[in-house]
Amino acid sequence: MEHSLLTLTDIRKSFGGVRALERASLELPRGAVTALIGENGAGKSTLVKILSGIHQPDGGEILFDGDAVRIPNPQAARALGIGVVHQECLAFDNLSVAENLFINSQPMQAGLVHWRDLRSRATAVLRDLDADFDADLPAGRLSIAQKHVMQIARALTHESRVLIFDEPTASLSQRECAELFRIVRKLRDAGCALLFISHKFDEVFELADRFAVFRDGVSVRAGRLSDVTSDELISLMVGRPVSQLFPKLEVQPGAELLRVEKLGRAGEFEDVSFALRAGEIVGLYGLVGAGRTELAQVLFGINAASSGVFTLAADAAGIALVPEDRQGQGAVLPFSVAANIALPNLTALAPRGWCSPSRESELASQWIDRLGIKAHGPGQTVHQLSGGNQQKVVIAKWLARKPGVLILDEPTKGIDVGAKAAVHAVTSEFARAGGAVLMISSDLPEILGMSDRVLVMRRGRLRGQFMRAQATSEVLLRAASDA
Amino acid sequence: MSARPLHFSDNARRDIAFAVLTAVLFLAVTLAFPGFAAPRNLAGLLDDTAILIMLALGQMLVIMGRGIDLSIAANLALCGMLAALFSRAWPDAGVLPVLVLTLGAGGLLGACNGLLVWKLRLPPIVVTLGTMSIYRGAIYLLSKGAWVNENEMSREFLAFPRHEFLGLTVLSWLSIVVAAAFIVALQRLKVARDLYAAGGNPEAASYSGIDPGRMQFLAYTICGAIAGVCGYFWVAKFAVAYTDIALGFELSVIAACLIGGVAIAGGAGTAAGVVLGCLFIGIIRSSLPLVGISAFWQMFINGLVILVAVLLSARQRQFKRTILEARA
Amino acid sequence: MKAASLLRWESMLAAVLIAAFITFSSLSPYFLSVDTLSDATFNFTERAIVALPLALLIIAGEIDISVAAIIALASVAMGLASAQGVGTAGLVGIGLGTGLLAGCINGALVTIGRVPSIVATIGTMTLFRGAAYAVLGDRVLKDYPDSFATFGQGYLVGPISIELALFVLFAILFGVFLHRTRWGRSIFAVGANPVASRFSGIAVNHYRFALFALTGLFSGLAAVLLTSRLGSTRPSIAQGWELEIISMVILGGVSVWGGKGSILGVVLAALVFGLTTFGLGLMNIPGIVLSIFTGLLLILVVAVPALVNRR
């Protein structure tokens, strides 16, 4: 095996009283892609931030090419040759692509920015990556996928020898993923040490050579990917064998609750028609940009349709939406659990205007029990809860409304396996009680496991409908992608 | 699929459009009053607008960094009073020490704002609202409420800004030099590009090793230094110093920035645009008496211009909802 | 926790209030008479009445620095109407109506025009104050009917002025509205996270517009009270008041980022303000020195929690 370019041993890091990393070790050999796997809260992001120089470890050792090093700030990381492609899109929309690539590292001449050199180097890197946009474009004009490519380009401008990719495929289409993998393999073959963090096992097994599993801030195991199966990986991640991930209950569909007819919104989606029946869980699959979230927002009432209609059955109690962005759209983080759950239910809780903290508290306690929300009590601030528990609060606030139709937009994105199972259980429960569910998801196993029917959207139009029996990964992917 | 390379075309297009608008305004006024375009009058126009230009350029740096400086006029007034008192006490010292004094004092006052915003992460609007009152009050304490009049200021003190070279006063030349310096510096200096980055996306900037707070500190200090020096020029130009000079002027300065295309959300703005904004306001101001509109309408017209400018900008871009300056 | 920290703030304000009281009584022999204290209230009630809806607006995540300009505009409107012979009732209507209209303009700029409120109200501040100057120039309007003076100069019962009574009434109404009703809860939500509020079914822009209109209306009310107390209108009326009113709100513990604050805090802050201004005035300290104090206080109010949290 190759001598490791980067070795981390027994890294410790705490924030206030919270132990993010306890005993984290990692080896990144040259010319290999190492996948870092772990649930949310396992410490992966913290490790990435330590390697980027954003945080300092409390203890432990970092060896770069055999020498002990410290990474006190992002410039030091760059100087060592560590490049990071973060999960969040860190682009400067107000500046050109070329300038984005050289932020805080512009080529200089006599103390002034050397624009000609900057532009020519930027164009060269973009050409190497076969990017489909120009260096002079303002970065704000790029799509999310293009911005990711730009981030990779930025990492490459520093001649990095260690490249870290933190969940890079979250917003990429199939074709863009393939492109990314091509670049990753090219870098691997050139001798770089690559760290690839992902939740998606199919990608991990396709791309990576080695793996490392973290759990609760500790490195659990590492080794060659060929020596392990995905079930074993899941067990290592969770610490226990996970049997039932998708508790699918069999339900007989009942009356029609929602009918959508040729619904459209200019520039986002058009000519969408389908129906939802009581007891059904309908999956809505598609790639980023397909228009699914936009459809959900029109159904929920955030935006108006420009064509077509949708009708809710007369006795159905309304449509609820659990949005994609948990922290920005789903929950009011500084509010308590009780206040969050009360927010869409204020008219019911305070019919004549007067709020009753005790009634809200009681309602919240009920849902804390039903969904197993791990909080000190209804008064705890939602900001302090883990991602999975925050999502449960968002779901609770809408279930408390007793809607007829529940739309879930990527409900288990970024939450750990245990909470995922809980969300799926609640969803199935809701359907069994007579509700209809529209579940938007980019996670094929989730879609295939939960849905009675699957709708597929591509570029703003409905491209296909598949019954549970016919739906397979290949069939759905083909319908969803440009191929 | 390769998009057309449009380097900063949005900003350039806006500036060009605005330049055309200003030119049209100028032509309109000149057509009605041919005397307006006389070199003497134009020189006077520039002289009257010079201080606004310099202040607006300083304020632009602060706004680009996602801040705002409401204390800029109070800073100017305090340093102006300092300059006047200095001249009264040491009339033979000449202008140079006064320039150094006001530059330093203004920079210090600006740095106070900057420190509070950087180190304590206080909201800029609250900080500068507070320092605005403190600096104004300090003028009173310093002067004990008394005025410093023309006869108490040395001849050199008064004459320096009015010296003429090639038809333009020293003050006018200074504003031209400062404007040119800004135009070049904002493009070529790394620290200026870092400011654009910090204002455009503070989180991404810190991930890249730029400290947005430090950028704001620098912006406030430079803005304060410019305000300080302008304090001397104001007092010398109007030949009087008292507590209320330039009262409310900070709004004109901010208005000029907004009209000139500086985005309140940070990260965007051009020096050329700001200069055009000042000239636009200046032309309106000096053409009002010609048209027979009393000076009392000046403020109202300024208000209209601001509202039209910001409404148009809001339609163009997607403003982020930064009311009281988002945390970095 | 949220409630605990706010309570700490209000206790601190109450302590400052008591300390100020004690200090001034010991410094000036005139301070502790009922008449004096009653006079003292005139000093701040007009500003404090505007601070109440402004607090709601800031909690909702917006700001309005045109409030003083609205006062000026409403006062000018009333003065012009009075010169035309309009009676007291009509004048009150015009004052309130002008304020409401101005507030609606602000609301429209922010919700329909999508202009950030700081920028919009800088613009309207210039516009409204400019209109006052344009219309009046350097004239003064003094022609008010005698009955008009009761609002600003009259007493309800004993030493309690009409202005004070109105302030207490509105403080109670606003307090109950903000802290006990579901609309008040929605205001907190809009300030804490407007997007999540929208996704929770709250009509965010309706709230914003209504709060701007309300702030305008109460600025109009303040104009009625102030004009009636002064008996005259100049275009420079209430100059600089926006700073003081905002200071009252922020001193009262309302967070400039929205989502946090209490009416009790604002009331206590207004009292501290009014008392201190009056006390210093009794000691013949000029107003401009007071503004140093205001500025320092404003900075301290936001700096102290920041320092404490730095650990």
Given a cut of 70, the residues of chain B with pLDDT beneath it are: 1-10, 316-328
Listed in order, strand segments (DSSP E) in chain B are: 164-165, 168-169
Q: Answer yes or no: do A268 and A180 share one domain.
A: no
Q: What is the pTM of this model?
A: 0.86
How is residue A94 annotated by DSSP? T
Strand, helix or coil for residue C124? helix
Q: Which residue has the tokens 């001193």?
A: C251
Which of chain C's residues have a Cβ under 8 Å away from the Cβ of B121?
Answer: 306
Q: Which of B125, B136, B300 sits opposite C256 (nearest CB)?
A: B125
Q: What is the CATH number of the domain that holds A228?
A: 3.40.50.300
Query: Can you read off the two tokens belonging to residue A287?
Result: 């790639």
Query: Can you read off the two tokens belonging to residue B327?
Result: 């945390």
Query: Can you read off the two tokens belonging to residue B62?
Result: 């602060």
Q: Which of C113, C116, C294 sits opposite B323 (nearest CB)?
A: C116
Distance from the Cα of A347 to chain C's closest Cα (Å) equals 8
Strand, helix or coil for residue A84? strand
Asked if A358 is an interface residue toward chain C (Cβ–Cβ < 8 A), one would say no
Asked if B267 is an interface residue toward chain A (Cβ–Cβ < 8 A), one would say yes
Q: Answer yes or no: do A389 and A442 share one domain.
A: yes
Number of Cβ within a 10 Å radius of residue A351: 9
Distance from the Cα of B309 to chain A's closest Cα (Å) equals 20
Digit-coded pLDDT (tens) for A462-479? 988 999 888 887 788 778
Residue A126 lies in a domain: no
Q: Angle CA(A383)–CA(A216)–CA(A77) in degrees, nearest 5?
A: 85
Q: Answer yes or no: do A278 and A190 share one domain.
A: no
Q: Answer yes or no: do A224 and A155 share one domain.
A: yes
d(CA A99, CA A119) in angstroms, rounded, equals: 8
Residues facing A213 on adjacent strands:
A37, A221
Q: Answer yes or no: do A222 and A261 share one domain.
A: no
> Inter-chain contact A103–B210, Cβ cutoff 8 Å?
yes
What's the pLDDT score for residue C3?
59
Between chain B and chain C, how many beta carbons pairs sit less than 8 Å apart? Answer: 161
Distance from the Cα of A174 to chain C's closest Cα (Å) equals 30
End-to-end Cα distance, chain B: 36
Which of chain B's residues have a Cβ under 8 Å away from the Cβ of A90?
Answer: 201, 203-204, 207-208
d(CA C138, CA C151) in angstroms, rounded, equals: 26
What's the pLDDT score for residue A246?
62
What's the pLDDT score for residue C179?
94
What's the pLDDT score for residue B328?
27
Name which of A186, A294, A234 is nearest A445 in CA terms: A234
> Inter-chain contact C199–A349, Cβ cutoff 8 Å?
no
Q: Which residue has the tokens 């459809």?
A: A295
Closest residue on chain A to C195 (Cα) = A329
Query: Can you read off the two tokens belonging to residue A150?
Result: 């730009």
> Inter-chain contact C133–B258, Cβ cutoff 8 Å?
no
Which of chain A's residues have a Cβ under 8 Å away from the Cβ of B6?
Answer: 136-138
d(CA B172, CA B174) in angstroms, rounded, equals: 5
Asked if C193 is an interface residue toward chain A (Cβ–Cβ < 8 A), one would say yes
Q: Nearest 5°: phi and psi at B226? A: -60, -45
Output b/e per residue, A402-416; b: 16+ Cβ within 10 A. Answer: ebbbbbbbbbbbebb
Distance from the Cα of B124 to chain A's closest Cα (Å) equals 22
Mutant choice from B250, B298, B324 vs C, greatest count of C C-beta within 10 A = B324
What's the pLDDT score for residue C1?
38
> Inter-chain contact A339–C185, Cβ cutoff 8 Å?
yes
Residues facing A162 on adjacent strands:
A82, A193
What's the pLDDT score for residue B35?
85
Distance from the Cα of B161 to chain C's closest Cα (Å) equals 30
Asked if B136 is an interface residue toward chain C (Cβ–Cβ < 8 A), one would say yes
Which of chain C's residues have a Cβ under 8 Å away from the Cβ of B302?
Answer: 126, 130
Output b/e per residue, B170-191; b: 16+ Cβ within 10 A. Answer: bbbbbbeebbeebbeebebeee
Among A178, A204, A238, give the residue marking a domain's end: A238
Between chain A and chain C, how many beta carbons pairs sit less than 8 Å apart? Answer: 65
CA A331 to chain centre: 17
Asked if B301 is an interface residue toward chain C (Cβ–Cβ < 8 A), one would say yes
Closest residue on chain A to C190 (Cα) = A332
Name which of A450, A446, A456 is nearest A481 in CA terms: A456
Among A208, A238, A268, give the residue marking a domain's end: A238
What's the pLDDT score for residue C268?
93
Higher pLDDT: C112 or A288? It is C112
Are A391 and A410 in contact by the 8 Å Cβ rule? The answer is no
> Inter-chain contact C292–B120, Cβ cutoff 8 Å?
no
d(CA A255, CA A279) in angstroms, rounded, equals: 9
How is residue B45 annotated by DSSP? H
Domain, as residue range, for A476? 256-480
Which segment, A263-272, A315-324, B191-200, is predicted with the most confidence on average? B191-200
Q: Which long-range contacts link C264-270 to residues 24+ away (Cβ below 8 Å)?
A: C264/C10, C264/C175, C265/C6, C265/C9, C265/C10, C265/C13, C266/C48, C266/C51, C266/C52, C266/C55, C267/C48, C267/C171, C267/C175, C268/C10, C268/C13, C268/C14, C268/C17, C269/C13, C269/C51, C270/C44, C270/C47, C270/C48, C270/C51, C270/C167
Which of chain C's residues have a Cβ under 8 Å away from the Cβ of B300?
Answer: 126-127, 130-131, 133-134
Chains in touch with C (3+ beta-carbon pairs under 8 Å) read A, B
Q: What is the DSSP string of C138-200?
A: T--B----GGGHHHHH-EEETTEEHHHHHHHHHHHHHHHHHHHBHHHHHHHHHHH-HHHHHHT
Are A451 and A276 in contact by the 8 Å Cβ rule? The answer is no
Q: Answer yes or no: do A397 and A435 share one domain.
A: yes
Residue A74 lies in a domain: yes
Distance from the Cα of A49 to chain B's closest Cα (Å) equals 9
Which of chain C's residues have a Cβ under 8 Å away from the Cβ of B307?
Answer: 109, 120, 123-124, 127
Asked if B133 is an interface residue toward chain C (Cβ–Cβ < 8 A), one would say yes
Which of chain B's residues have a Cβ under 8 Å away from the Cβ of A136?
Answer: 5-7
Query: Can you read off the two tokens belonging to residue C73?
Result: 């505009």
> Inter-chain contact B140–C134, Cβ cutoff 8 Å?
no
- For the domain covering C2-304, report its CATH number: 1.10.3470.10
d(CA A283, CA B117) in angstroms, rounded, equals: 49
Q: Which of A323, A334, A379 sits opposite C199 (nearest CB)?
A: A323
Given a cut of 50, the residues of chain C with pLDDT beneath it are: 1
The reply to whether CATH 1.10.3470 applies to domain B49-316 is yes
Are A428 and A436 in contact by the 8 Å Cβ rule? The answer is no
Among A238, A266, A283, give the residue marking a domain's end: A238
What's the pLDDT score for residue B325?
30
Are C89 and C125 in contact by the 8 Å Cβ rule? The answer is no
Number of Cβ within a 10 Å radius of residue B141: 12
> Inter-chain contact C125–B319, Cβ cutoff 8 Å?
no
Q: Which of B6, B189, B208 sits opposite A104 (nearest CB)?
A: B208
Residue A161: pLDDT band (50, 70, 90) is confident
Q: Nearest 5°: phi and psi at A407? A: -105, 125
Residue A42: pLDDT band (50, 70, 90) is confident
Are A147 and A91 in contact by the 8 Å Cβ rule? The answer is yes
Domains of chain A: total? 2
Query: Can you read off the two tokens belonging to residue B177?
Result: 């030099």
Is the four-CA dihedral C258, C264, C267, C269 of positive or negative sign?
negative
CA distances for A226 relative to A199, A201, A206, A208, A237, angstroms: 18, 13, 11, 10, 17
Distance from the Cα of C158 to chain B's closest Cα (Å) equals 37
What's the pLDDT score for residue B324?
33
Q: Answer yes or no: do A25 and A82 share one domain.
A: yes
